[in-house]
Structure 1
Amino acid sequence: MTSPHDKTAPVVDAAHGLGERPSVPAARTGQPLPLPLPLPQPQPTAPPELDYNGRKHRRAMDNASLAEMARRIPRALAQTARLAWSVDRRMAITILVCQLLSGLGTAVMLTAVAEALPLLTTHDPRAGLAQAWPALAVAVVALAAGSGTWILADWATRRLNPKIASTADLALVDLHMRAELSAYDTPGFTDRSQAAEIGAMRAVDLADDAKTLTNGFVQLVSAATVLTSLHPLLLGVLLLSVVPRGLGGVVAARIDYRVHDRTISARNVRGMMRWWLTTAELADELRANTMRGYLHFWYRTMCDRVEGRELEGARPYLWVTLLAASLAGLFTLGMWASLAALVLAGTMTTAIAGTAIVASQTAGRALNSIVRYGAVMFHHGLYLSDYFDFIAEVGSMTASRGSARPRTPKQIRFEAAGFTYAGKDTPALHPVSLTFSRGEVVALVGENGAGKSTLIRMLTGLTLPTEGAVYWDDTDLATADAEAVWQHVGLVPQKNGHWPLAARENITLGQPHSHEDAPVWDAAGRVGMADHLRELPDGLDTLLARSVWGGQELSGGQWQRLACARAMYRRPAVLVLDEPTSEMDARGEHQIFRELHTMAPDRITVVVTHRLDNVRMADRVIVLDQGRIREEGTFDSLVQTEGSLLAELYALAQDR
């Protein structure tokens, strides 16, 4: 054990770690100090294994029986056809007709080959060719026509795909924008929305997959029909040649899916992390806090996991493929032996046997397409079903209330109005009775979760009360047209949009705009943004999105000023500001509240703020506590009242 006075006791070097103190001071020997040995750096902790257990269709294909897959694939085809029919009937009909013509071409080609082969096997090749050329010409024309119809179907699908993508995406986005806000609060809404979004994205893939799958069915049916017409036993011979390939294809598809399913979590999170590692928004933090080493290790670990699991799936895939190919080869030999036996027995001609071999190859290719794209359609079809289910669900929850069109309100009255979120037992806002009058500035104060945002939603008609009623003058908002109500509202929420639009559109957004920019500059001047906007490279035409080439970015406080300018440009009858100056400097904050006073006589103004010094400017203060009105009055009267919550919060703010 070492003593604190022992000259050889170990010491900690700030730069290099633990080392030995030299027994003779360096000043006496003139020798340099030996470099201390660095301690080994601790290995970073590997990221945890990730698995999205909550995914709705997790391991759906892996757990599905062949019978279930067979039942679901027709439904997926029907839903895809329904979507295609709704966006472009002409292209949908074109694809369908091309599929039928392609199958007809295959049937005609096989029949023509069956007619030509006997003539080609005569003792006189020239005479046989002279007799066979009409049938051969028909086979070539049928083959060319089949290829042409496939190209035409592909062209029609390429025209259809962008329309399907746009229609599915627009329907989903539009429903989200029109849905009642209460829809977002229903249990599992986000999960169902994400599943529907996946369905919308995969709708395009389904159109291609459906085309290839149905073509495979048509080709298989055509080959089987021709063979059966040539000889009844040939259908059994066909099954012997293609069934092993089909079963092998199903098993191989399951292996592919299992690998995909086991890596989807790592790939998704890796994709998200890649953006964070390469974006300029986090470049400062990443470098200054020396995060690069661990994040590179984390990212490489995820890459290794994905790569390793894909390599693990390569071996079973190889064995399954080899086994299926071996069985297919064995059955193909059996097919040829059966055909030879039938020919030798005199029950089948050589020409028909040759046609059977050609048809089996056609059927094999068709079956491969059916298995491959059937497995894909089964999985994608689950999400397409989610899409249609979600469309139906949210379609019944859009903001369709009544036809009344309220005018600019002189008063807004809460009559025992309260709100309870879906799935909650405790109201977010207990029944309250309040009146807001034109020309009045009202401040809402309360701790987090007190019910301020819920009250604002009810005040502006964004949410209808679950009990009681809210009136704009004599109009119950439950009977009013929602869009007509919102035409009179200007809202600056806590989280405002940094819209990737030109500066002008960021102010005029939601309102018609003439070619005259004077009102835009007036709104910008009211919030102190006019000078900054003039300094932008293209003034009001400057794109406010740094991630886009030529775009510019604003600070957090400037974005808040712009959001206030957007509300003021609307000149609303009901102006609501929820923490409008949380990121502004003192000058900007003062200017915003000064403008509120100037504009107050013409409107109902409600302000939510945690900066209680700003509450002084309000005509009335409403203090909420746990969903109830705790107190109400002027700022001065409340802070001087013993036991007042506002007085307590104000005192705490002053102590900071």
Structure 2
Amino acid sequence: MSEQQTEDRKTAAPPAPPTPPAPPEFKYTWGQHNETMEALSLGQMARRVPSALRQTARLALAVNRTAFHVLVAAQILGGICTAAALTAISRAMVPLLTGDGIEERISAAAWPLVVAAAMTALGTLASLTSGSAARRLNPGMATLADLAMVDAHMDVELAAYDAPDFTERSEAAETGSARSAMLLQDALGFTGGLIDMAAVASVLAVVHPVLLPLLLLSVVPRGLGSVHAARLDYRLHNQTIASRNIKHMMRWHLTTPKLADELRGNSMRPYAHHWYAAVCERIDSRMVGSAPRYLTVHLIAATASGVFVVATYGALAGLVVGGYMAIAAAGTAIVAMRTSTAALSQLVVYGAAMFQHALYLGDYTAFVAEAAEKSGPRGPQVMEAAPEKIRLEEATYTYPGKDTPSLGPVSLTLSRGEVIAVVGENGAGKSTLIRLLTSLTAPTSGVVSWDGVPTSDADQRSAWRHVGLVTQSYGYWPFSARENITLGQPGPRGEEAVWDALDAVGMREAVQGFPDGLDTLLARSIWGGHEPSGGQWQRLACGRAFHRRPGLLVMDEPTSAMDPRGEHMVFSGLRDMKDDRITVIVTHRMENCRLADRIIVLDAGRITEQGGYEELVRLDGSFAELVRLSQDR
């Protein structure tokens, strides 16, 4: 190779990397309202709207009864003012258009015009008052609906989460909860249009009975256009919901500091950007592609409505020319028609919005009601004391939609003062066993009892007061260091107990070094917050369980993120407090099992071995194999 060729190769730009494939198309398949929206008619819309209005009223009354009554009164007053103003204008039209002299006309029309102006001003004040009341109600209504959703998820039995359709029904209900933020404004627009329409109709009916049906015909095309646009909106919503969900989820992954190291260290930026941009483009293309359909719908509706408006004004002219209507009445009719056109359009547009609200609010109310049914105590028995013994008698648990049990049948007795280690491969049933022991779930068949009281017949919340639980997915709660230990349950020994729990997990010095000690907010994402390391977070999770001083302490992989010193501190703490409680440790570290008085080996939901560490090693079964595998790593 010549020197020039070598130089050319050095200076040539590197070849562009191949374009990665686009992410797969995501589909949202549930969409239980698809058929309803596809068959939407004005009649269906009218029948659904009252339920949305009732729901709006219930929420508003729960937030602020006074503000709700002010809003309703202001809206009614606004309608009365509209009717009174039109009536006054009608009276002013007669002398203005048929009087003899200018002065006489103005004099005769003065008081009616003053009344019309006063009614218009009062109506404006009523509108401002209703708007102010709505602004006081709207945030509270949104919060009330949101709190109901949060409480429904926190209170519902864990078994509900296992149902295959729980997540989809929850997402549909979340949409209904989110709609509550728009509910009052749309209801205000709808009822305002309805009241104004009733007021104008009463005036038009007096002027001439033929004008009202003609005017109604002029708004029907726009109504049908709004209904069709609502169908398009819902179809577009369903076409993009899966992509929008994955977009929001991916955005969190790309912007959270928790994954920033992995994103950079693995050179993920080019592909992550391509992936995110492709999903965004997919959503945008759907939105842009729908624009011609919306334009067509609204053009047709506006054209048809215009034809009917021209016909209405033609009929008005014909009535005047034919001598069937006085010129003064025609002037009143023109003013009333302009007011009623706006009211009818408002009525139809907000009616379509209220129809959609009714659909989603139905999801919301059904979900909250169903969650409430699954949130009460399982039985009347209250677990006053921590358990001395926990027994499982042929207990099984089968997840909804599954044919075979995830656990069981299992028969087992745990006694106070024991340290029990539970081991097994992934999917062996360890997490399910924890749920049954702690009364987080009741067995599908068989019995789990605390001191002879079946957990399926007792108030599970009273049992949880005696439980300390450290799960694999422990929470990084954005609380202060103190509250991360106490969880809002300080206990009789106050701050001393907090420091004792921190000592038990070797975190005293670390917390003392935090910017504000126990009062340090543990959330770097919040201004002034501090972020502990992964191992420190796990120590805090263990510390909060120790602080509870529970009768049943269950720890699932409690030291997986800790260094040897932290692990030693935690297990030393377990040994020191074992006599006052039943202690269960789930672990993949076989060496930790030496602490246990008894080891339970699970395989495919069954207990295959149990005994002491040395005993099971000599048995040379599956536990001995797990020990050898852990030593070979």
Shorter chain as normaliser: what TM range? over 0.9
Q: Which moved more, 1:182-191 or 1:42-51?
A: 42-51
| 1:344 aligned residue | 321
Give per-residue Cα distances to partners, 1:126-157, cap 9 Å, x unaligned: 21111111111221122122222211111111
Mark the CA change 1:344 to 1:420 in structure 2 (over 3 Å): closer, same or farther: same
Q: 1:447 aligns with which of 425, 448, 451?
A: 425
Kindly state the Cα deviation for residue 257 of structure 1 after the two structures are TM-superposed.
4.7
| 2:356 aligned residue | 379
Mark the CA change 1:493 to 1:34 in structure 2 (over 3 Å): closer, same or farther: closer
Q: 2:305 aligns with which of 328, 349, 356?
A: 328
Give per-residue Cα distances to partners, 1:498-551, cap 9 Å, x unaligned: 100000000011523469422111110110111111111111111111110111
Contact 2:42 2:223 in 1 (8 A): no
Residue identity matched to 1:181: L
Q: Which moved more, 1:391-400 or 1:86-95?
A: 86-95
Kindly state the Cα deviation for residue 297 of structure 1 after the two structures are TM-superposed.
3.2
Kindly state the Cα deviation for residue 337 of structure 1 after the two structures are TM-superposed.
1.8
Q: Are 2:560 and 1:588 equivalent residues in the alignment? A: no
Contact 1:404 1:479 in 2 (8 A): no
2:619 is paired with a residue of what secondary structure? coil
Q: 1:482 aligns with which of 455, 460, 477?
A: 460
Contact 2:177 2:364 in 1 (8 A): yes
Q: Are 2:111 and 1:134 equivalent residues in the alignment? A: yes
Q: 1:607 aligns with which of 585, 600, 604?
A: 585
Residue identity matched to 1:214: T
CA distance in 2, matches of 1:518, 1:429: 41
CA distance in 2, matches of 1:314, 1:500: 43
Kindly state the Cα deviation for residue 610 of structure 1 after the two structures are TM-superposed.
0.8
Q: Which has the higher helix share?
A: 2
Give me the TM-score of the superposition, normalised by structure 1: 0.91
- What aligned pairs does 1:463-542 form with structure 2 within 5 A after superposition? 463-513=441-491, 516-542=494-520
Give per-residue Cα distances to partners, 1:537-574, cap 9 Å, x unaligned: 11111111111011111222211110111011111111
CA distance in 2, matches of 1:430, 1:306: 47
Kindly state the Cα deviation for residue 582 of structure 1 after the two structures are TM-superposed.
1.2
1:276 is paired with a residue of what secondary structure? helix
| 2:42 aligned residue | 66
- What aligned pairs does 1:49-448 form with structure 2 within 5 A after superposition? 49-58=25-34, 61-121=37-97, 122-400=99-377, 401-448=379-426
Q: 2:23 aligns with which of 20, 30, 47?
A: 47
The unaligned stretches of length 5 or more in structure 2 are: none
Q: Which moved more, 1:387-396 or 1:123-132?
A: 123-132
Contact 2:421 2:598 in 1 (8 A): yes
Give me the TM-score of the superposition, normalised by structure 2: 0.94
Which structure has the larger Rg?
1
Contact 2:390 2:448 in 1 (8 A): yes
Kindly state the Cα deviation for residue 30 of structure 1 after the two structures are TM-superposed.
12
Q: Which moved more, 1:544-553 or 1:412-421?
A: 412-421
CA distance in 1, matches of 2:149, 2:232: 33
1:517 is paired with a residue of what secondary structure? helix
Residue identity matched to 2:122: A
CA distance in 2, matches of 1:462, 1:259: 40
| 1:11 aligned residue | none
Give per-residue Cα distances to partners, 1:388-422, cap 9 Å, x unaligned: 10111111111412133331322222233222222
Give per-residue Cα distances to partners, 1:345-365, cap 9 Å, x unaligned: 111111211222212211221
Mark the CA change 1:472 to 1:259 in structure 2 (over 3 Å): closer, same or farther: closer
Q: Are 2:594 and 1:653 equivalent residues in the alignment? A: no
Mark the CA change 1:558 to 1:56 in structure 2 (over 3 Å): closer, same or farther: farther
Q: Which moved more, 1:37-46 or 1:156-165?
A: 37-46
Residue identity matched to 2:134: T
Give per-residue Cα distances to partners, 1:224-281, cap 9 Å, x unaligned: 2211122111212322433333333434444455445444444443333333333333
Contact 2:34 2:235 in 1 (8 A): no
| 1:577 aligned residue | 555
Q: Share of identical aligned residues, percent?
A: 52
CA distance in 1, matches of 2:52, 2:188: 12
CA distance in 2, matches of 1:489, 1:34: 69
Mark the CA change 1:96 to 1:433 in structure 2 (over 3 Å): closer, same or farther: same
| 1:627 aligned residue | 605
2:607 is paired with a residue of what secondary structure? strand
Q: Which moved more, 1:633-642 or 1:300-309?
A: 300-309
CA distance in 1, matches of 2:605, 2:616: 19
2:380 is paired with a residue of what secondary structure? coil
Contact 1:77 1:210 in 2 (8 A): yes
Contact 1:533 1:540 in 2 (8 A): yes
Contact 1:241 1:360 in 2 (8 A): no
Work out the number of aligned pairs and report it.
Answer: 630
Residue identity matched to 2:59: L
Residue identity matched to 1:625: D
Q: Which moved more, 1:592-601 or 1:405-414?
A: 405-414
Kindly state the Cα deviation for residue 84 of structure 1 after the two structures are TM-superposed.
2.2
Give per-residue Cα distances to partners, 1:12-36, cap 9 Å, x unaligned: xxxxxxxxxx2x4x3xx99845545
Contact 2:504 2:543 in 1 (8 A): yes
The unaligned stretches of length 5 or more in structure 1 are: 1-21
Contact 2:226 2:352 in 1 (8 A): no
* RMSD after superposition: 2.3
1:640 is paired with a residue of what secondary structure? helix
CA distance in 1, matches of 2:519, 2:427: 40
